[in-house]
Structure 1
């Protein structure tokens, strides 16, 4: 199992549209699952019935797999994974400037949550919306998915990524934040889940509050992406970088899990 997971993580490093990689997205979903209300859990079970893995974690990477499994939808939704807002100094969200035509992760979260919450929508439409919401709330909490357009969220910044066995491998800054820092811990999914569960619970969204506060989440991620030192001075990522930034990765994963649970609990309240 560990070997298969490691292979999946390496595949994710090569793709610029992924955020958090397989393990990171599954962890966000696992954390959210812990905090679902009974009503939300029943709705999730109904919506995901028939899926190969009918759990939030089981569909957490579905939106990244669309390019291979449904190229048309994958192309239409490709801009929904990120919002390049760092050039504007992480300023207050202005849709015409920051999300033209609604094609960014901020509006995608709101649009898909509205479909999920709408009982007049078909089961298929709501199932698809649930899978998008699970994924995009993970995406918006990856800081470089709210970063600079000029370097494609760190994709053009080449670095050497340290590995759990003490070696390193080539990659870019985006992939370092997607998977490199997570993989560096050398933990499997249950162990990493337990590590994140030990962090303080984030509660910053009132119960039944919709639409989701995705602009604030993107803005927070942007502020992390623009902190001094996040862009390393050279290509080699050293132990000090790992020690400094891995806690931020963990905090964002933990925060994403709580925010996802809050959104699902509100959207599926009845």
Structure 2
């Protein structure tokens, strides 16, 4: 009982604010997995763009798009809708005119920013910013609740209580649990978690050419996970059985996101 109580308190103490898919750890893991799958030429091109960054790696820029809320509030506000798309109410079938007016959703943001990244005639600063967006948004679209229901803001309004144990009598929400709680509950640090994900079977990538990115397919597949029985628990109180059932799904999505990001960057950074 004491061990279980400690684990639940750990989860809840680590749950982030509700807007950042996967949280900082998850985004860094996706970026590091992507680097594994990049060609030497694509890695070199990425490093050229990253010169001068505080941490000039894909992992180092992976959470930049979330950090805009504090570092550049105007750009953060203008791009806030680029992190998600709500399609679960419509059977997980994406329609641009219905779900993404003016290109303001993660599906079209990935397409637009990848095109900017691939255009070598654009200034380096524009391409670097596009790289930062692409690395982040490919991670976002593979977090199931970023392609979920609009009525509860992707699970942000769906309250959960881990076995009734919450700090200071407060609760949490399903989106936050998926963002970081399930990952950090393992107690693994970043290198150990990266090794864990690398040990998973190589995922099957989306058929078709990497450019334009298959972001519609990614979003619809993530949405299908949201609609699986049990992802939304029948009761607000959930226990370790929920974490045991759904953490492997989250980890498989992280692994897939890394592989799809690698394929996208390989195509965008080394044009033939």
- Report what 1:18 is aligned to: 20
| Separation (CA, whole Å) in 1 of partners of 2:71 and 2:202 | 35
- Report what 1:45 is aligned to: 47
Deviation of 1:10 after TM superposition, in Å, equals 5.6
Deviation of 1:102 after TM superposition, in Å, equals 0.7
Normalising by structure 1, report the TM-score.
Answer: 0.91
- Report what 1:65 is aligned to: 67
Q: Where does structure 1 lack aligned partners over 5 or more consecutive residues? A: 1-6
Aligned length in residues:
257
Deviation of 1:209 after TM superposition, in Å, equals 2.7
Normalising by structure 2, report the TM-score.
Answer: 0.90
Q: Quick check: 1:82–1:140 contact (8 Å CA) kept in 2? A: yes
CA distance 1:208–1:44, shift in 2 (3 Å): farther
How do 1:242-253 and structure 2 match up within 5 A?
Answer: 242-253=243-254
Secondary structure, counterpart of 2:172 in structure 1: strand
| Separation (CA, whole Å) in 1 of partners of 2:248 and 2:209 | 30
Q: Quick check: 1:148–1:154 contact (8 Å CA) kept in 2? A: yes
- Report what 1:28 is aligned to: 30
Q: Where does structure 2 lack aligned partners over 5 or more consecutive residues? A: 1-9
CA distance 1:102–1:154, shift in 2 (3 Å): same
| Separation (CA, whole Å) in 2 of partners of 1:232 and 1:203 | 29
CA distance 1:112–1:55, shift in 2 (3 Å): same
CA distance 1:190–1:222, shift in 2 (3 Å): same
CA offset digits 1:166-222 (Å, max 9, x no partner):
x75531000000001111111000110011001111242468630000000000000
| Separation (CA, whole Å) in 2 of partners of 1:161 and 1:53 | 36
> Are residue 212 (structure 1) and residue 213 (structure 2) matched?
yes
| Separation (CA, whole Å) in 2 of partners of 1:113 and 1:89 | 27
Deviation of 1:138 after TM superposition, in Å, equals 0.3
Deviation of 1:50 after TM superposition, in Å, equals 0.3
Q: Quick check: 2:161–2:236 contact (8 Å CA) kept in 1? A: yes
- Report what 2:150 is aligned to: 149
CA distance 1:10–1:138, shift in 2 (3 Å): farther
Deviation of 1:54 after TM superposition, in Å, equals 0.3
Secondary structure, counterpart of 1:13 in structure 2: coil
- Report what 1:89 is aligned to: 91
Secondary structure, counterpart of 2:21 in structure 1: coil
CA distance 1:233–1:207, shift in 2 (3 Å): closer
Looking at both structures, which has the greater relative contact order when contacts are Cα pairs under 8 Å and sequence separation is at least 6? Answer: 2
Deviation of 1:127 after TM superposition, in Å, equals 0.1
- Report what 1:139 is aligned to: 140
How do 1:113-124 and structure 2 match up within 5 A?
Answer: 113-124=114-125
How do 1:152-231 and structure 2 match up within 5 A?
Answer: 152-161=153-162, 170-205=171-206, 209-231=210-232
Secondary structure, counterpart of 2:238 in structure 1: coil
- Report what 1:128 is aligned to: 129
> Are residue 261 (structure 1) and residue 262 (structure 2) matched?
yes
Q: Quick check: 1:87–1:148 contact (8 Å CA) kept in 2? A: yes
Q: Quick check: 1:35–1:261 contact (8 Å CA) kept in 2? A: yes
Q: CA RMSD in A?
A: 1.8
